[in-house]
Chains A and B, each alone.
Chain A
Amino acid sequence: MAHLRLIARRLMQLTGVLLGISIVTFLLLHMAPGDPARLLAGERASAETIAAIRMQYGLDLPLWRQFITYLANLLAGDIGQSLRFQRPVSELIQQFMWPTLFLTVYVVCLAVPPTVALSILSARNPGGTADQIVRLVGIAGLTIPVFWLGIMMSRFFGVSLGWFPVSGYGVGFTGHLHHLFLPALSTAIWLVPVLTQSLRAALIEKAMADFVTAARAQGASEREIFWRTILPNSVLPTLNLLGVMVAFMIGGAVIVETVYAVPGLGTLMIGALLGRDYYVVQGLTLVFAMSTVLVTLAVDLLAAFIDPRVRA
């Protein structure tokens, strides 16, 4: 019951955020340099042609009327037409979305188990040998640039050893798994140290908590205390961090997708930006903002599921 109430409350708060997002994405386009009508009409178009195009696209209307139209279209699921591909933006995004989502989920699946294992290893004896090694390797993983690591791995595993394809998305579920392994791995190598830092700190802090002493005083074994008390109490900060990272990956997979030529949203974004494909950029911005909001919502709900105090 408390969960349902929370979900309802959060969804209601969401409407305001979504309205804000739509305003910002709308204004973004209008503040960008360049005139879309001129772009459509071509370099040598006459003033009359440009005016006609302006009228056709509603660009001559006052700003607030344009916004209303934009909002109404948005609600109908119409976020415009790609100037370059001459296809609806929503269709384009749908097409390019799946590789990115697959990659994101893949990264999370690759990153979470080692994060938990390394944090436990580290936190068991803070300052010990294992902790030092984990920290050093972590710093190395953080400092190696993703693009360099990507290129190196695709050369080594892809070209020299021939274990994994170096580009593309593949066909079918196993094909996706196979093709996206290297991109997912190179992102995970950078993500694991970030998450490990956070989880390690929380584990060390919670191991000193009073309720751990109390559990010990009630005869719980160290093993039980760790899995039932310390770990559940420590995951929340890391979960929130993971949420931020996932949102970031959906919008920021540009480098990895470019290096491995994955037909994802990052690739689409680069193409649209270079080709001045305004409505695609606008649509993508909207999608990135929405996905951030949705991921945050999911993380909040998950946090509420773990921690009853968040529900209240």
Chain B
Amino acid sequence: MNRTETVTRPLLEVEDLTVGFGGFEAVRGVSFYVQPGEILGIVGESGSGKSVTCRAVMGLLPGTARAGGGVRLEGRDLLTLGDADWCALRGRDIGMIFQNPASHLDPLRRIGRQIAAPIVRHLGIGRREAMRRAIRLLDDVGIRDPERSARSYPHEFSGGMKQRAMIAAAIGCGPKLLIADEPTTALDVTVQARILRLLKDLNRERGLAIILISHDLGVVADICSRVVVMRNGEVVEQGPIDDVINRPRHPYTRLLVDSQPSRRGYPGVKAEPLPAAPLLSVEGLSVSFPVRRSLVSDRAGKAGPFLALDGIDLQIAAGETVGIVGESGSGKSTLARTIIRQNRPSGGTIRLDGREVHGLTGDALMAFRRRVQMVFQNPYDSLNPRMTIAEAVAEPIWRHGLADRRTAQVRADELLEMVELPRSLRNRKPRQLSGGQCQRVGLARALALEPQVLIADEITSALDVTTQAQILELLLRLQRERALTLLYISHDLSVVSSICQRVYVFKAGRIVEDGPARQVLSIPRHSYTQELVASLAQLGPKNAASALTPVFNNAAR
């Protein structure tokens, strides 16, 4: 341990905690402790029991759950508390913030009142004084113009501001411990970096102990002093962050560390070969969406169409892997959708092999659809829930008349094998599969038409890191084997820079920077790119000990 042993007892002790739902034990024998004023990270994939553990600490488990073992806050046993005691403790001694700030704020109440409510409740302070404190808290968590913001409703706040408001509400009564359950997962990277900095500042200035739950080791490594690694409801490893990351003892921890995009070197990323004529070229592309009009605001004269893309120029050569990075709302998905003709451009052209994409009709259009395929962000939503996965993969083949239905089925089986899905899954429906498996089906379906260009729109952002690493590995293998041209869209700069040859950085519908991936990442020129690079929560440079280790043989999990 690098912290000096103190005689003070830990703030929170969790001892041999077990949580069961019916016959299923979601958490088994979990023990850890939190010292006053420290930041403890809990990492694990979805389903590892990290959220359930923290909800047990908060007494927020659903009625069907049974909790056993011991949870002590400053020596006081929490699991035996009655309802009234819990109400007195929650929000007073332990605060909590959640993954999706948008759904955790009451949409009908003003922000200020929501922050003031726990203060009135726990500290017995009048409404007026509580509101004054709420405004000060909003200022403390870095919200501009706190007085006006206090009168706002949640829907008038951005995602980052909502999370700040949640934090303000959670720390209003000066709790000793803050539980942050994936607080930045739903936010953009730059916003994530700011929220993490805020948590760190609160920890330092107020001596607030924090439990930070995340699936992202990079986030945890950024601000935590110790880390607990969970898997399948058990703690597999815990210790100071440096030890766990640089000298992982458990194979799963090693897998987790190696799955970080910044730690992985993907083979096949060469310097740019750029042949003369680009395969796909986009010139001066603009896409606008009509803004919902209202009679009154039109008079004010500020309305007008919203430009989702504003004069985009980009070229992609055959066989190249090009990345597109940007925050949500920057227009990256609009570009992808416009290339596959789901949106109409309001200006500019898209050419594939010199032919204008939006002018195609009839057979030429069908041929275009075969040549350009797309994989989507949400693996569940993009597959028909009533079709088995083999049917879903076979459908494009017979629909395009490339084979009759029976041959298409045979082809589909081959494709499923190619994306490393076991044969036994072929008759499953999408919801019977894991997210990673579903995304493999999405890939197989896109490849069924043997496309030349594959557009991957945030295909790993809904997946755990280890699954993400497997999918990326698969994607790159397929790209190599089939000489695919890949347009990879992501908000995650580290993924893009590790697999792409060139990147374009999008902001508010424009390209602010482009160039070879390594160069953009190492010497960003535009201030926005610099901010993006700076906000990357990553494990830092790879040290010699943890070179690529072949732990990726359980690929299709």
Task: Give residues in A with beta carbon < 8 Å to B.
Answer: 5, 8-9, 12-13, 209-211, 213-222, 224, 229, 232-233, 306-309, 312
Closest to B110 in A: A308
Give B84-112 as 1s and 0s: 1 = Cβ < 8 Å from A's Cβ atoms.
Answer: 10111111100110101001111110000
B90 and A217 contacting across the interface, CB-CB below 8 Å: yes
10 nearest A-B residue pairs (beta carbon): A219-B91, A218-B91, A210-B103, A214-B104, A308-B153, A217-B96, A219-B90, A218-B118, A210-B104, A211-B106
- Are A9 and B294 closer than 8 Å at their CB atoms? yes
Q: Are A216 and B100 in contact (CB under 8 A)?
A: no
Please give 15 more A-B residue pairs, beta carbons under 8 A apart, in addition to A219-B92, A233-B107, A308-B107. A8-B296, A13-B295, A211-B103, A211-B105, A217-B90, A217-B96, A218-B95, A218-B169, A219-B86, A219-B90, A221-B83, A229-B106, A233-B108, A308-B155, A309-B107
B122, CB-defined interface residue at 8 Å: yes
CB of A142 to closest CB in B, whole Å = 31
Would you call A233 and B118 a contact (CB within 8 A)? no
Interface flag for B58 (CB, 8 Å): yes
Main secondary structure of the interface of B (DSSP, over half): helix
Cβ contacts A to B, 19 pairs, < 8 Å: A9-B296, A13-B295, A211-B103, A216-B90, A217-B90, A217-B170, A218-B91, A218-B117, A218-B121, A218-B170, A219-B89, A219-B122, A224-B121, A308-B107, A308-B108, A308-B153, A308-B155, A309-B155, A312-B155
Residue B166 at the chain A interface, CB threshold 8 Å: yes
| Bound Cα distance from A288 to B289, whole angstroms | 39
Nearest neighbor of B105 in chain A, beta-carbon distance: A211
Q: Contact at A307–B122, with CB atoms within 8 Å?
A: no
A-binding residues in B (CB < 8 A): 58, 60, 83-84, 86-92, 95-96, 98, 100, 103-108, 117-118, 121-122, 153, 155-156, 166, 169-170, 294-296
* B-side contacts of A221, CB under 8 Å: 83-84, 87
Residue of B nearest to A210 (CB): B103
Chain B residues whose CB sits within 8 angstroms of the CB of A218 once the complex forms = 90-91, 95, 117-118, 121, 169-170
Task: Chain A residues near B60: list those with CB within 8 A.
Answer: 213, 216-217
With CB as the reference atom, state the residue of chain A lying closest to B169.
A218
Q: How far is the CA of A5 from the CA of B98 in the complex (A)?
A: 35
Min CB distance, A214 to chain B, in Å?
A: 4
Instruction: For the complex, give the distance between the alpha carbons of A306 and B92 in Å.
Output: 29
| Minimal beta-carbon separation of A222 from chain B (angstroms) | 7
Complex-state Cα separation, A304 to B548, whole angstroms: 58
Q: What are the residues of chain A within 8 A of B295 when measuring CB–CB?
A: 9, 12-13
Residues of B within 8 A of A233 (CB): 106-108
In the complex the two chains form, what is the Cα distance from A281 to B11 in whole Å?
A: 78
Contact yes or no, A209 B122, CB < 8 A: no
Q: Is the CB of B107 within 8 A of A219?
A: no
In the assembled complex, the CB of A88 is this many whole angstroms from the nearest CB of chain B, namely: 35
B122 nearest in chain A by CB position = A219
Would you give the shortest CB distance from A6 to chain B, in whole angstroms? 9
Total cross-chain contacts (CB, 8 A): 83
Q: Find the residue from B83, B98, B104, B106 having the highest chain A CB count within 10 A.
A: B106
How far apart are A126's CB and chain B's nearest CB, in angstroms?
12
Closest to A217 in B: B96
In the complex, chain A residues whose CB is within 8 Å of the CB of B294: 9
Q: For residue A214, which residue of chain B has the nearest CB?
A: B104
Which residue among A209, A219, A224, A312 has the maximum number of chain B CB atoms within 10 Å of its CB? A219
Closest to B166 in A: A214
CB atoms of B155 and A214 under 8 A apart:
no
A225 to chain B, nearest CB (A): 10
Residue among A5, A209, A214, A307 facing the most chain B CB atoms (10 A cut-off): A214
**In the complex, chain B residues whose CB is within 8 Å of the CB of A9:** 294-296
Distance between Cα atoms of A208 and B77 in the complex (Å): 27
**A220 and B117: CB pair below 8 A?**
yes
A220 to B121, Cβ gap below 8 A? yes
Chain A residues contacting B108 (CB-CB under 8 Å) are: 232-233, 306-308
State in angstroms the CA–CA spacing of A118 and B84 once bound together: 27
Tell me, in angstroms, the Cα distance from A210 to B107 when the chains sit together: 11
Chain A's closest residue to B113 (CB) is: A228
Once bound together, how far apart are the Cα atoms of A224 and B122, in whole Å?
13
Q: CB-CB < 8 A to A216: which residues of B?
A: 60, 90
How distant is the Cα of A103 from the Cα of B155 in the complex, in angstroms? 40
Q: Smallest distance from the beta carbon of A16 to chain B beta carbons, Å? A: 10
Q: Which residue from A213, A219, A224, A309 sits with its C-beta under 8 Å from B104?
A: A213
A217 touches B106 (CB 8 A): no
Complex contacts, B107 vs chain A, CB 8 Å: 211, 233, 307-309
Compute how far the CA of A156 lies from the CA of B414 in the bound complex, rounded to whole angstroms.
77
Closest approach, in angstroms, between the C-beta of A218 and any C-beta of chain B? 4
Which A residues are in CB contact (< 8 Å) with B98?
210, 213-214, 217
A186 to chain B, nearest CB (A): 35
Pick the contact of B100: A5, A210, A232, A306 (CB < 8 A).
A210
Closest to A212 in B: B106
Min Cβ gap A236→B in Å is 9
In this complex, the member of A211, A217, A221, A312 whose beta carbon has the largest number of chain B beta carbons within 10 angstroms is A217
> From residue B410, how far is it (CB to closest CB) to chain A in Å?
45
From residue A203, how far is it (CB to closest CB) to chain B in Å?
Answer: 15
Q: Are B153 and A217 in contact (CB under 8 A)?
A: no
Q: What is the bound-complex CA distance between A211 and B107, given in angstroms?
A: 8
Residues on the A chain within 8 Å of B92, using CB: 219
Task: Specify which chain A residues have a CB less than 8 angstroms from the CB of B87 in the assembled complex.
Answer: 219-221
For the complex, what is the distance from the CA of A218 to the CA of B296, rounded to whole Å?
Answer: 40
C-alpha spacing A94/B153, complex, angstroms: 43
Does A222 contact B83, Cβ atoms closer than 8 Å? Answer: yes
Determine the distance from Cα of A13 to Cα of B169 in the docked complex, in whole angstroms: 40
A211-B104 contact in complex given A218-B169, A222-B83, C-beta closer than 8 Å: yes
The smallest C-beta distance from B157 to any residue of chain A, in angstroms, reads: 12
User: Across the interface, which residues of B come within 8 angstroms of A209, CB to CB?
Assistant: 103
How far is it, in angstroms, between the C-alpha of A87 and the C-alpha of B121 when the chains are bound? Answer: 65
With the chains together, A224 CA to B95 CA distance in Å?
A: 18
Contacts of B105 in A (CB 8 A): 211, 214
CB-CB under 8 A from B121, the residues of chain A are 218-220, 224
Which of B83, B88, B92, B117 neighbours the largest number of chain A CB atoms within 10 Å of its CB?
Answer: B117
Q: How far is the CA of A287 from the CA of B169 in the complex (A)?
A: 51
Shortest Cβ distance from residue A98 to the other chain B in the assembled complex, whole angstroms: 35
How far is B87's CA from A216's CA once the two chains are assembled, in angstroms? 8
Whether the pair A309, B153 counts as a contact (CB closer than 8 A) is yes
- Which chain B residue lies CB-closest to A216? B60
Residues of chain A lying within 8 A (CB to CB) of residue B104 = 210-211, 213-214
Return A246 CB to nearest CB of chain B, in Å: 23
Q: How far is A307 from B109 in the complex, measured between Cα atoms in Å?
A: 9
Who on chain B is nearest to A309 by CB? Answer: B155
Give the distance in Å from the alpha carbon of A232 to the alpha carbon of B102 in the complex: 18
Provide the bound-state CA to CA distance between A210 and B97, in Å. 11
- Chain B residues with Cβ below 8 Å from A219 are 86-92, 118, 121-122
